[in-house]
Amino acid sequence: MLNKIILLNCANYDKAVIELDADSIQIVGRNNGGKTTLISALNFLYVPNQKEWNFAHSPKETLRFYFKQLDKSYLLFEIYKNSYFCILLRKDERGLAYYKIDLAYSEAEFAFFGETNGKTTLLDFESVQSSLLTKIEKLSDKDYRALLFGETTKDKSVLWLEKNIKQSTFSRI
């Protein structure tokens, strides 16, 4: 179950943590305040094929908007399935990269921030990765799809799709 969406130097947000562990959620704000940006960020989690994304702009423009700094823009999704874990997305030289962090965001947050001249700053990815050591794993496209669309209730998949529902059908919805 998706529990939180976290944007760090992502889109128009320096830091946004959106809790989704409620029966009902409302996103309210002024015009052009980022409501659609938050909702559209779900494309990154649920639709791994960029050709099937439902953004207003091309995939290249979308990645440039959400991930402004190559090594310091992060989008995280905290998932609960038997235990907490996070899916981290960042843009690297080749495009979008997916990682799994075997911690709740509250336990991993320390790795993203440091102190510089008495001011809290967002760290680059190499620093984040070295802080998380054995708790972070880069996912291949195949591994990410397996994590997202697992076929049994025993695995830690984000979504459970019935065997007769294809991933491509879900992505179009």
Beta bridge partners of 88: 76, 99
Domain count, the chain: 1
With a cut of 70, say whether residue 88 has pLDDT above it: yes
Q: What is the pLDDT of residues 5-34, one digit of tens each?
A: 999 999 989 999 999 877 777 777 777 666
Q: Of 8, 7, 2, nearest to 124 (Cα)?
A: 8
Asked if the structure places residue 124 within a domain, the reply is yes
Residue type at position 114: G
State the pLDDT at residue 42.
Answer: 86
Asked if the structure places residue 84 within a domain, the reply is yes
Asked if the structure places residue 25 within a domain, the reply is yes
Q: Is the separation of the CB atoms in 80 and 105 below 8 Å? A: no
- CA gap 106, 138 in Å, rounded: 20
Which segment, 25-39, 47-61, 62-76, is predicted with the most confidence on average?
62-76
With a cut of 50, say whether residue 91 has pLDDT above it: yes
How would residue 156 be classed by pLDDT, with cut points 50, 70 and 90? Answer: low
Distance in angstroms between the alpha carbons of the first and the last residue of the chain: 18
Domain CATH code at residue 77: 3.40.1140.10
What's this model's pTM, rounded to 2 decimal places? 0.82
How would residue 155 be classed by pLDDT, with cut points 50, 70 and 90? Answer: low
Asked if the structure places residue 172 within a domain, the reply is no
Q: In what order do the strands lie in the sheet with 83-92?
A: 13-19, 2-10, 74-81, 83-92, 95-101, 136-139
Asked if the structure places residue 161 within a domain, the reply is no
State the pLDDT at residue 28.
Answer: 75
Asked if the structure places residue 153 within a domain, the reply is no
Q: Where in the sequence is the domain holding 6, given as residue range(s)?
A: 2-139
Asked if the structure places residue 164 within a domain, the reply is no
Asked if the structure places residue 131 within a domain, the reply is yes
